Amino acid sequence: MLKDIVIAEQPVCACVPRDFPLTLRCRAQGSSPLYYQWFLHSESFCKEIPGANQPDLHIVTQQTQLYICRVNDQHHHFAFSHWVKVKVLKDITKGADLLTHESDPNWKSSDLKTNILRLFHYVLPGWEGDPVFITYPNPAHLTSQQPVQFQCCAIGIPAPKYQWYLNGQCLPHRRGRKMQIKAVKPKDCGSYLCCATNAKGERWSEPVELTLEHSPTRQKDIFFAVGKVALIIGNNCYLKHPNLLAPVVDVYELSNFLEKLEFCVISLVDLTHSEMLIAVNKFLQFLDNGVYGLFYYAGHGYERSGRNYMVPIDAPQPYRPENCISVQKILQKMQERRTALNVVLLDTCRKWYNADCALSKVNPLKPFGNTVYGYATCENAEAYEVQDGDSSSGIFMTYLKKHILEEKKVTHMLEDVLEDIGRDPLITGKQVMEIKHTLTESRALTDRICSPQSERLNRKAWDKENELPKQILLFSCGVEVELSFQSVFSNLIHIFARLIQTPSYLTDIRTILYICSDFAELSIPNTCRLGHEDSLLAMGSEGEGADCMLRLPDLQKCQNDIFIKLDLQCTNMGTGVCLQESLEHRIPKPWVARLFSQKDFSLDSAAGSSDDSRSRQRLQSSTNSHTLGHAGGISLGAQSKSSSEPEEHDEGDIFAAK
């Protein structure tokens, strides 16, 4: 039995705005009933707070105060909690007006005023105490030996602790809200940033530069990449959630742009939870020293307390964090690979969801100066896709593709995207892009790849592994059909059949492609899969003039080679006899399937490939007549209606939130 009173839960310090409703908690254990009394330190003495005789003290903050709780029992035993300081930030909105008037040429959208508005409109209604910056340090350009002071401020419960960094290196003795240098020297120049942490999480400030006016002029640095690799995921067709329209188009377009920038691209659509984990792990294996890594996701998602989650297509309704993929964990793993540049682009909603769920455990990100994080929208807001007839594209991608090929620092390129989105009248007040980064070097997505290249990220070898050469199929009746292949995504191929030789005595010639192996059963059925976007993507150069096509989705599920059949039906004009023939063609196990199934996959692996898959060839049927099987392919002239619906918060058929 306890003889003494033991404080089991101490109250914690806090840093909050004025008029914020705050609860201080104290819990104690003892052998008899306990009684609580709260006190505050006012001026030079401590005074009792009338009526504050409960374990929880509810206050509305007005000014900075010190609080303490006394616990006693009926035997006159007592114990005191720790003193806690509640720091109240007074008149911060007034200060914002004074510091950031729009007439000031240094006024920017990321200034104090904007942060305060964001704080009150987005953070406080569901805020759980994780650090939130309301002021950031400002850059400085000085002459030698001048003093300088950087300062920032964050609210948090418990009150945040601060740590400053210079060029990604921790400054051990710089642990206050303010950091002062009495006389600036050349060694002090560089990029500074501050990390605010408490038990609920961490936040990083934006980096600011300290430069000297008379420093020797440096020649512009030229940066190279050892290799470039991108993982792009778009989830369109959900089993238990509304389907989306834009991700499949956005992934397709971004893949094409990144290939122009010499990236080795892994583009995947409609992945389950386990498949997303495998894809990320395989992507991480390609990252190494000097490599540029880019991760992009479009689909359903949400945010809670600074954590972003991606929703797989098989997520239950409702979903929880364990059913989703943490973006912060991916970024953390990317940093561990010591890459030269990490870019994460998240084209998804950041609305709060499932507030009662426990957070995933995420360790603090390393302060390496190589990370760029681009959000399509701001915190607790939605990302929209615009629909134009049969086509749909995300707002973020609409403007990203205008600037992604520009030869400028990646953060500057994204700032151009941000400004364009801000000028779009369709989404004014609905979607505002957000950029976070610790990039200290002027690295760009357009940087060239140095020689020698990374063997695993050699573009020629990469493209060769993904290439399926054209094939010529010869039927016994004399008809020749060319098969061509279009890799729409790494896990989705379109196969086109085109008549190239037809005898003059044959008429009414029709061809049908379909799959004849068990692979057809692996695809998750969803009517969205045969929607308008498929016909748009099929209209590439390979699809021009094709007589029929076959779509092979979910190639990551494939365990063996794929066998397809081409059925031919025609009429002999002389005899009027209807002829039917069928040819079977083997497609080696796709590259992405080998990537998913092998633990130590390399691009040099030739598993599943053979000589007949690397050159044009003619295949001749051994029989004159076959019964037509089930046609799993679709004719290019056929119309397929999509059952996809815009995500929730649809606005007049113009927007659909992801």
The set of catalytic residues is 300, 349
Strands 178-181 and 14-17: unpaired
**What are the helix and strand counts (H, E) for the chain?**
10, 40
Beta bridge partners of 179: 150
What is the residue whose two structure tokens read 């059963």? 521
Question: Which residues contact residue 457 at a Cβ distance below 8 angstroms, ignoring those fewer than 6 apart?
Answer: 226, 227, 228, 229, 264, 286, 291
Distance, CA of 169 to CA of 148 (rounded, Å): 19
User: CA gyration radius for the chain?
Assistant: 31
Beta bridge partners of 477: none
Q: Which two tokens stand for residue 155?
A: 């609210």
Instruction: Quickly count: other Cβ atoms within 10 Å of residue 138's Cβ.
Output: 14
For residues 184 and 144, the answer to whether their CB atoms sit within 8 Å is yes
Distance, CA of 114 to CA of 117 (rounded, Å): 5
* Residue 412, helix vs strand vs coil: helix
Indicate the residue type of 233.
I
* Residue 546, helix vs strand vs coil: coil
Instruction: Quickly count: other Cβ atoms within 10 Å of residue 567's Cβ.
Output: 22
* The total number of residues written for the chain in this structure: 658
Q: Which residue pairs from 536-540 have beta carbons closer than 8 angstroms and sit at least 24 positions apart in sequence?
A: 536/249, 536/390, 536/391, 537/248, 537/249, 537/252, 537/488, 537/494, 538/486, 538/488, 538/494, 538/636, 540/486, 540/494
Backbone φ, ψ for residue 332 (5° rounding): -60, -45
Q: Which two tokens stand for residue 6?
A: 């033991």
DSSP-assigned letters across all residues of 470-532: -EEEE-TTS-EEEEEEEEEETTEEEEEEEEEE--TTEEEEEEEEEE-SGGGGGSPP-GGGGSH
The H or E element spanning position 582 is strand 578-587
CA distances from 113 to 24, 100, 102, 134 (A): 29, 7, 10, 9
Distance, CA of 56 to CA of 463 (rounded, Å): 64
Beta bridge partners of 267: 232
Which of 63, 61, 57, 50 minimizes the C-alpha distance to 81? 57
